[in-house]
Copies of this chain bind each other. A is one copy, B any other.
Amino acid sequence: MESKNLDNLRHSCAHLLAHAVKQLYPGALNAIGPAIENGFYQDFDMGRWNISEVDLPKIEAKMREILPTWQKFSFNEVTLPEAKKLFKDNKYKIEMATEFAKQGKKLQTNDPGGFLDLCKMGHVENPSKELRQFKLLSIAGAYWHGNEKNKMLTRIYGTVFPTKEELDAHLKMLEEAKKRDHRKIGETLELFTISTLIGSGLPIFLPKGETIRSTILKYLTDIKKSNGYQFVWSPHIARSETYHISQHWGKYDAMFAPMKLDKEEYVLKPMNCPHHFQVYLNRPRSYKELPFRIAENGTVYRNEKSGEVSGLVRVKALTIDDTHTFIRYSQTMEEVDKVLKMIIKILKTFGFDNYVARISVGDKNHPEKYLGSPQEWERAENALKRGADNLKIKYEVGEGEAAFYGPKIDIMVNDSLGRSWQLSTVQLDYNQPRNFEMKYVDEGGKEAYPAILHIAMIGSIERFMGILIEHYAGAFPLWLSPVQVAILPISEKFLESAQKVKEELQKSNIRVELNTDNKSLGGKIRQSTLQKIPFMIIIGEKEVASYKVHQVYQGTVRTREGKDLGMMEVNKFINQLKSQIENFS
């Protein structure tokens, strides 16, 4: 189904929900009820009622009861005074009607099943038939107009699909996603912690999480280095003046509050760009040095509201795998191609084989709105499109969506649950070289401005890890697993041999844990499985006896999926592990 029709379906269902709630809870007032990604919500001022998720089945039943009476949405245009009269008991509707009228919008009512509501257009033709496959999902609080000074309303979330199959698939996905919630897995596997003392949105990576984090960053760093990227390090603050020059000051909402010190004003960096520009500006540059590629896994600070941060996916401290590449305009095509190839290679390493792109381009009818000549823009946009074509990446073009300073391409991946995440961005920029007077001397000895590619291949490592935890359901592939092998001695008697085997693995830089708990083998296997450790080596009578005969350490290998790989020579197994790790699998 096309997304517009799906939106109509969802929005219609929000009306139905409002109808049911108002019948069940006299005096409850419905506020807004829009379609959102994967469903809809409807806000209510519940008056004297208090509801929770246990009430959802009752509300659903009422919706099903009403539904057959919902034959169609018929529209009446009304004047503001009429609207005020019709909705005199609902201050939210009156406020919305007044606002619409002020904006010169038409006021329309509809009354399917006799339920009068004020609404913008966009509904299904035949609600009684089309709205059957719905499900209410959750309840949350939400301020009216999203402003914490206003009243807290009750928001009910739901979803609806054209067919039962689609609804079931979606609900199953939600259920699976719930099980994979990275906040829950992050706690169970001790990957990260968020301390209320330190602050919300400021995750601390625990040893196991930091192992994954640094393994990913090392992988990215190695790939970038071998592609000619040079790493730098920059501090996390800058004088406020920096962001006046970059023109972010006052325009960029997420900036942290400035700090006054010693007559100077500093601010946490919300982006790494100006710091990297100082590297470029360190000395005069020649055309021979371009492309000049500067990279840093730099932590930036963005003031997400404390109520809006969540786990690793939305945080205040973001470590971006940031790259700024300075190019001559004529190098755009070649460099974009190279960058997109790297990005796809990286995404595939993490099992993201499905991806699409969105290319944001300028508005052809208004070239005056953009910095740089139409020819330059055409060349840059073509570079992005051809880059995507070369790699057979499907893309949509967002006409007029580009920022005034350059077009960009975003890469969206589907995770193992089919959910879409935007990960990579390549943004062309003709603007900042002018703001910061970054130039180079061209072949003819004249000064010229480079273009800049702002590149984030995985975005922020925090968000990427949040996504990966859910993508893998915590069962990270061997190369990323914080503990790669658990050694399980069947009893204390085999501890010494187990220790020797552990040392053998450590010598090969395998991350290994020796389970010395006073538990049965079954208990130890269960522990390792819950900790999603890819491999277990069991050491008992048989294994030690075999060592006595062959003078070669042996162990019985088992996977976290419960597969028994039988008794193996430890060194041969190490070689298998090493080759798997080298292949990032």
Contacts and interface: CB of A to CB of B under 8 A. Distances in A.
Interface of A: 190, 193, 195, 197-199, 202-207, 209-211, 213-214, 230-239, 241-242, 245, 256-264, 266, 268, 274-275, 278-279, 281-283, 294, 299, 301, 303, 305-306, 316-317
B210 A275 contact: no
A464 B421 CA distance: 42
A242 B190 CA distance: 22
Contact of A233 (B199, B210, B268, B283): B210
A259 B262 contact: no
Main secondary structure of the interface of A (DSSP, over half): mixed
**Which 10 A-B pairs have CB atoms at the shortest separation, nearest pair first?**
A207-B230, A235-B317, A205-B233, A257-B259, A195-B278, A202-B235, A198-B238, A199-B239, A204-B234, A193-B282
Contacts of A245: 197
Contacts of A204: 232-235, 275, 278-279
Nearest to A319: B233
Nearest to A226: B506
A214 B231 contact: yes
A193 B301 contact: no
A281 B283 CA distance: 48
A237 B207 contact: no
Contact of A264 (B199, B275, B278): B199
8 contacts: A197-B242, A197-B278, A198-B274, A205-B234, A211-B231, A237-B268, A256-B259, A259-B259
Contact of A198 (B213, B257, B275, B283): B275
Contacts of A232: 204-207, 210
A209 B294 CA distance: 13
B202 A231 contact: no
Contacts of A231: 207, 210-211, 214
Contacts of A259: 256-259, 268
Contacts of A301: 236-237
Contacts of A209: 233
A256 B268 CA distance: 12
A306 B260 CA distance: 13
Contacts of A197: 238-239, 241-242, 245, 274, 278
Nearest to A242: B197
A154 to B, nearest CB: 23
A317 B268 CA distance: 12
